[in-house]
Amino acid sequence: MEQSNFTLNGVDKNGHALKITCEGIDDKELAHFGGLDLIVKATKHMISSTNNPMDFPEKEGDYLISDKVVALYLNEIGNLIRNTSSESEYLEDISNIELVRSFIEHINENPEVAALVKKDNEK
């Protein structure tokens, strides 16, 4: 296995500069050309690492902090669904959360995707 890396430069929704750098092994399971697997791994790691910073807001009385964070993540996943859809022009009046709900409701209709999720859960 070969070490791989990427750097993403951009801005957040408030226009503030954002730089993400990642190094790791790209397994090339999702895409043979590389890159995508490492981005997915890094994203999953960032999501799973969110637990630690939420302790402080909960101690300060924001008991909904985890729900707020999950809602923002799901909203961005809905945006990903919208932007990667071949029929995005038909999705204008559907909220990002509704797109996530529909995706989840129909995920088992695609055996390849269902198998991928099952394999990931087993790890």
pLDDT number for residue 35: 84
CB 97 within 8 A of CB 74: yes
Q: How far apart are CA 101 and CA 5, in angstroms?
A: 33
pTM above 0.75, yes or no: yes
pLDDT number for residue 10: 96
pLDDT number for residue 115: 94
The 8 Å CB, 24+ separation contacts for 45-54 are 47/73
pLDDT number for residue 97: 97
pLDDT number for residue 13: 92
pLDDT number for residue 52: 75
| pLDDT tens per residue across all 123 residues of the chain | 778 999 999 999 999 999 999 999 998 888 887 788 999 999 999 998 887 777 767 777 877 888 899 999 999 999 999 999 998 889 999 999 999 999 999 999 999 999 999 999 998
What value does the CA radius of gyration of the chain take, rounded to a whole number of Å?
17
Q: How far apart are CA 97 and CA 113, in angstroms?
A: 20
pLDDT number for residue 33: 78
